[in-house]
Amino acid sequence: MNLTELLTTLEAPIVVRPTRRMTQGELESYLDKAADILRGNADHSEFRGYVFALLFYKRINDCYEEEVRTQADTLIKAGVPQEQALQLARDPQNHHFIVPEAADWAKVARTAKGQLGQALNDAMLAIERANAHRQNNFDGILTGKIDFNKQDELPRDKLVNLINHFGSQTFDRAHVSDDLFGNAYEYLIRNFASKAGKSSGEFYTPAEVGFLMSEMLAPKAGMSICDWASGSGGLLLQCIRYVKKHGGDVRQLFLHGQESNVATYNISRINMILHGVPVWEHKQGDSLRDPRHLTAANRLKTFDRIIMNPPFSLEDWGHDTVASGDKFGRLSFGMPPASNGDWAWLQQIAKSLKDLDPETGESGKGMVVMSQGVLFRGQPEQTEEEDGQNQKADAEYVIRRGFVEADLIECIVVLPSKLFYGNGVPACLLLLNKNKPEARKGKTLMIWNSRHFQKANPQNLLRPSDLMRILVPWRAFGDLEQAKTLVDSHAAQLIREVEANRDQRLADIEDAFGPVLAPLARLMAEQAELDALDLKVAAVNDAIAPEHKWFGPLAPLKAEVERMQAEIDAAGRGDKAALKARLAKPKKQFDDARKLLIAAIKAHLKQLNKAIKELNKLQEERDSREQEIRLAAEREIAHLNEAADDLRRICNDPDEARRYFALVDKAEIEENEFNLNLPRYVDTFEPEAVVPLPDAVGNLRKAEQASSETKTRLDEILQTLNIEGVA
């Protein structure tokens, strides 16, 4: 390397904070800030359609532009002229999504504030039309119930802030992978649910509850699955994950959903597209008043699996529509009360479950989140002899009795409180089976899971260990001996899932930080080399040699000076003066070059120090995040091991097991007048802690002493206030 090349290398800037991929945590934090922009007195549900539409718009815009750049670069390298290459690269057949040039995000985002709303409306409509030919077309996905000109719903300042926020980050696949973005979109849905108040229950089910439901339903490739109140589509995605986890081909799932809220319906469509779900049949409309999944004969379609979290205790559920008769034959067990639609949903599920398939041995199963009121609301018929008055059986009692007598209820799980956003009503899970296995006929498994959960704000959480306490008795169907054999395998499986999640998150961190931190070792080695250099002039002169890494380029200049100096020393007196005059130029060149090189090395070392300091900060940040992930996984694994030990203890003692679950036959339910409230069957009583007598005596003496001290102090205060003390 000659001197010019070395100086160029030393003077080249070192990128201190290069662009890197976002981690899952960073992307979630970024989306948190988008939600924070909307903070105010208004319900977040008013904004969510706009935010989800904008985020989707930015994602497909950036991915489309990335695809165009990549394809154009390939064509240009192949010799295609640049303008023609760009034109060919925009061929719609070559892209997942199309963003017309007029709808390009950068152009729209630069629109003047007063015209921004209309520009966004036009861009959204243009994108929908450009993608109308797609299998999952965009019809209404960005325009349904969304008008960016409605400043009363989304104030213009908030809109501008959102545009600027989303515009500050690139969302192409190079920066954010499909899985990462899909997960982040679900995170944003959860974020809105936590802030959206009462309306949140309409569109979001906590992921851990959805995981539990999919585990208990156990869908398989080739099955049809329906969610009649699909919200944001999260429960169907959980079924997809279950099938994928068990090696099934998710392309062989036949997914169906129906959602009444237009904005939520569009959010679910976006959610599915971002998760790469190729095909699903999604309808918009009120499922109870107007079910849209029908056969050619205008009957309800039937499904292998139904998974649902409908609105709890819906008051305006459509009683008026079916009061004169339900043309779909759903209400065969009875007419639910006009003010509560819980049993309308349950009867719709029962009606749309498939009968037993003799070839596969599978029958239709449905799992639904319900208010616990469905377990006990409604009174049986009372006669004057029994109760001193005549009273007809309440509607909900009649329907519940019908479900029990038809042997539809296979399992009931009572959940902890405060699991669902915006809804404090105690909830339960009901698993319905159109045709139970022979060994389970006439029996219902009841699981009480209100004791074990993680307290959090605003909502409580179910941990993997809490889910295991449900899954083990469920898969053993209450059989204690079988449950004991399942504990180890369930603990191992859930631990593997915790570890897989940990490893995925660590890989995500490494993917984001690794390429950026890769130069650190080289830069530190270079820093050590330069720190070791003595940059004093005399020391540099002594160190100059052709093989020297840093001072080698000075060797020819120094050699020329030394050669001429040797000539001067060997010349006669008369020639010295002329030779010295000739020496001035090469000596100046050498001195100037040495000065430039020393200055460049010092400046480069300063850059190195700064870059290394910044990269060390990034490395500390990466290490800290990795440590958090490892510690969180260790805590979950510890909880799982503790729960496994506790389950073994429980399953070794039938009386203790009865405090958590019970297998109840139809006769016992009939004895309890078809009341399914779990405390009638499971010992939910929490005994008071036993305190040893010596400790109890000590506590009593402390209480007496405290009482005495309190009375003395009160007397002193009253005396000070000139009030007589109390006895």
Quick: pLDDT tens for 552-566: 898 999 898 888 888
State which H helix or E strand residue 689 sits in: none
**The predicted structure's pLDDT at residue 195:** 66
* pLDDT of 541 over the 70 cut: yes
What letter represents residue 383's amino acid? Answer: T
**Do the Cβ atoms of 211 and 467 come closer than 8 Å?**
yes
How far apart CA 75 and CA 681 sit, in angstroms, is 72
Please give the structure tokens belonging to residue 718: 């009253």
Lowest-confidence range among 14-18, 226-230, 350-354, 457-461?
A: 14-18
* pLDDT of 201 over the 50 cut: no
How far apart CA 372 and CA 349 sit, in angstroms, is 17
What letter represents residue 465's amino acid? Answer: S
* pLDDT of 727 over the 60 cut: no
Q: Name the pLDDT band for 197 (thresholds 50, 70, 90).
A: low
Taking residues 597-619, report their average pLDDT.
91
Taking residues 149-165, report their average pLDDT.
88
Rounded (to 5) percent helix, strand, coil in the chain: 55, 10, 35
How far apart CA 193 and CA 201 sit, in angstroms, is 7
Give one word for 432, left, alpha or beta, with left for phi > 0 and alpha for psi -120 to 50. Answer: beta
**The predicted structure's pLDDT at residue 446:** 98
**Element counts in the chain: helices (H) and strands (E):** 24, 9
Calculate the alpha carbon distances from 669 to 289, 405, 409, 447, 677 in Å: 32, 10, 12, 15, 10
Please give the structure tokens belonging to residue 86: 């760009």
With a pLDDT cut of 70, the percent of the chain lying above it is: 90
Lowest-confidence range among 372-376, 388-392, 428-432, 502-506?
A: 388-392
How far apart CA 148 and CA 113 sit, in angstroms, is 12
State which H helix or E strand residue 432 sits in: strand 427-433
**The predicted structure's pLDDT at residue 684:** 87
Give one word for 361, left, alpha or beta, with left for phi > 0 and alpha for psi -120 to 50. Answer: left
**Arithmetic mean of pLDDT over the chain:** 88
* pLDDT of 406 over the 90 cut: yes
- Residue predicted with more confidence, 432 or 22: 432
Most confident range (mean pLDDT) of 135-139, 455-459, 501-505, 719-723 is 501-505
**Do the Cβ atoms of 603 and 10 come closer than 8 Å?**
yes
* pLDDT of 506 over the 80 cut: yes
**The predicted structure's pLDDT at residue 307:** 98
Pure H helices in 652-692: 654-657, 666-671
Give me the count of residues in the chain. 727
**The predicted structure's pLDDT at residue 176:** 86
**The predicted structure's pLDDT at residue 697:** 62
Calculate the alpha carbon distances from 131 to 125, 256, 479, 688 in Å: 10, 22, 54, 64
How far apart CA 269 and CA 283 sit, in angstroms, is 10
**The predicted structure's pLDDT at residue 386:** 58
**Do the Cβ atoms of 308 and 429 come closer than 8 Å?**
no
Taking residues 60-83, report their average pLDDT.
92
Q: How far is CA 571 from the centre of its chain?
A: 85
Taking residues 457-462, report their average pLDDT.
84
pTM of the model as a whole: 0.82
Roughly how many angstroms between the first and final C-alpha of the chain, as a whole number?
100
Please give the structure tokens belonging to residue 471: 């899954």
Quick: pLDDT tens for 657-673: 999 999 999 999 999 99
Taking residues 162-167, report their average pLDDT.
92
How far apart CA 198 and CA 204 sit, in angstroms, is 12
Please give the structure tokens belonging to residue 626: 């990795």
With a pLDDT cut of 90, the percent of the chain lying above it is: 55
307: which strand partners? 367
How far apart CA 246 and CA 219 sit, in angstroms, is 10
How far apart CA 713 and CA 718 sit, in angstroms, is 9
Q: Which domains does the chain have, with CATH numbers?
A: 3-15+513-651 (no CATH), 21-195 (1.20.1260.30), 198-316+338-380+393-417+424-451+660-678 (3.40.50.150), 693-727 (no CATH)
**Do the Cβ atoms of 268 and 52 come closer than 8 Å?**
no
**The predicted structure's pLDDT at residue 425:** 77
Q: Name the pLDDT band for 488 (thresholds 50, 70, 90).
A: very high
How far apart CA 50 and CA 156 sit, in angstroms, is 12
How far apart CA 168 and CA 364 sit, in angstroms, is 48
* pLDDT of 387 over the 80 cut: no
Q: Name the pLDDT band for 7 (thresholds 50, 70, 90).
A: confident
Residue from 59, 168, 67, 163 nearest 119 by CA: 163
Calculate the alpha carbon distances from 605 to 5, 527, 528, 602, 620 in Å: 17, 7, 10, 5, 22
Quick: pLDDT tens for 678-688: 999 999 887 66
**The predicted structure's pLDDT at residue 726:** 46
Pure H helices in 458-572: 464-476, 480-517, 520-532, 537-543, 555-570
665: which strand partners? 443
Taking residues 154-165, report their average pLDDT.
90
Q: Name the pLDDT band for 693 (thresholds 50, 70, 90).
A: low
Q: Which residues contact 448 (CB under 8 A, 6 or more apart)?
A: 414, 659, 660, 661, 678, 682, 684
* pLDDT of 354 over the 50 cut: yes
Quick: pLDDT tens for 16-41: 555 667 788 888 888 888 878 876 54
- Residue predicted with more confidence, 629 or 50: 629
What letter represents residue 94's amino acid? Answer: N
- Residue predicted with more confidence, 42 or 309: 309
Q: Which residues contact 562 (CB under 8 A, 6 or more apart)?
A: none
* pLDDT of 8 over the 90 cut: no
Calculate the alpha carbon distances from 156 to 105, 112, 118, 141, 693 in Å: 17, 11, 12, 22, 69
* pLDDT of 199 over the 60 cut: no
Q: Which residues contact 570 (CB under 8 A, 6 or more apart)?
A: none
Taking residues 544-549, report their average pLDDT.
90
- Outline where DSSP puts E strands in 216-333: 224-227, 254-259, 281-284, 305-308
Residue from 188, 237, 133, 183 nearest 24 by CA: 183
